[in-house]
Amino acid sequence: MGLVAETDPSPAAIEAKGLSFSYGGTPAVVDVSLRVEPGEFCALVGPNGSGKSTLVRLLLGLLQPDAGFVRCLGGEPRALAERWRIGYVPQRHSLAPALPATVEEVVSTGRIARRGWWRPPSRDDRRAVAHVLEAVGLAGLARRPVGALSGGEQQRVLIAKALVSEPALLVLDEPVAGVDASAQRAFRDSVVHEVREHGAAVLLVTHELGAVAADLDHVLVMKQSIVFDGGPTELSARGVSLGVHADDLPLWLESLT
Ligand code: ADP
Ligand code: MG
């Protein structure tokens, strides 16, 4: 790990080579290599069950691959000293319903690793929390107990908590699945804004690209393996529409088998 970090002048946000993983003999991820550059907004797309969440857990060091290797921000993800530089919002993760903490308190915990748990919140910490709550549209709910929020609002609390440490890499696994189009646009605007402002790389896992198509730098399409890796224009050039016809991409994916 040390060697890679010291000799690479501008390490990739994520670099993976030859990753494979099986659940008890059933392959979920097969020979995946990819690279996400610093500051890049990258979407990882694929049908349900295509291995996206498994790949994300491999990329973040939460699962050990059967083969291959991963580097995040120049180091092994599990060994990264400044772990707060990676923000992760897992798929369908909900907060404990009885959690008495307020929205503001939960989001504030996203700053702890960065400043050191022994220090009280600084003015910068408080400002960052207020800014992020505004960005995800939760400013009005800051003093509410998170347990009283809807599922979609709780998801936004988790996104805000991941954003507030100003990560260099933000990984969001289907953060707005099942949410209506205007909420998806609001989410996109807040994430894209945060990313452009702080220069973070974002890996957004989704099964449809409609809401973010116009903002993407990079698209990875997977179905156990990577079946497309390129820019959105390149994908359009293959006759796959990302924004206009929401179902073009799923149809194309089905045609790949
Ligand atoms: P996606 O996120 O693209 O929907 P997943 O990575 O969740 O795909 O799942 C890929 C495949 O692995 C699916 O066939 C799924 O059923 C299977 N799978 C996912 N998690 C587990 C698990 N913990 N144990 C066994 N099989 C799993
Ligand atoms: Mg998934």
Identify whether 4 is part of a domain: no
Answer yes or no: is the C-beta of 150 below 6 A from any ligand 1 atom: no
Q: Ligand 1 mean position to 225 CA, how many Å? A: 14
Is the CB of residue 110 below 6 angstroms from any atom belonging to ligand 1?
Answer: no
Q: Is residue 6 part of a domain?
A: no
Q: Residue with the nearest Cα to atom 20 of ligand 1? A: 54
- Tell me if 151 is assigned to some domain: yes
Q: Is residue 3 part of a domain?
A: no
9 falls within a domain: no
Q: What is the pLDDT of residues 65-105, one digit of tens each?
A: 999 999 999 999 888 767 788 988 888 766 666 678 999 99
Query: Ligand nearest 50 Cα, by number?
Result: 1
- Kindly state whether residue 144 falls inside one of the protein's structural domains: yes
**C-alpha pair distances (Å), 16 with each of 11, 83, 156, 221, 232:** 12, 18, 29, 15, 21
Range of 50's domain? 14-255
Q: Specify the DSSP element, H or E, that contains 177.
A: none
Ligand 1: which of 23, 59, 206, 223 to mutate, most ligand atoms within 8 Å of CB? 23
How many domains are contained in the chain? 1
Query: Does residue 1 belong to any structural domain of this protein?
Result: no
Report the pLDDT value the prediction gives residue 103, as an integer from 0 to 100: 95
Which residues of the chain have a pLDDT value below 70?
Answer: 1-9, 81, 93-98, 176-183, 240-257
pLDDT of residue 196: 74
pTM of the full predicted structure?
0.86
> Does any domain span residue 96?
yes
Query: Ligand 1 within 6 A of 48 CB?
Result: yes
CATH of the domain at 47: 3.40.50.300
Structure tokens at 71: 């580097």
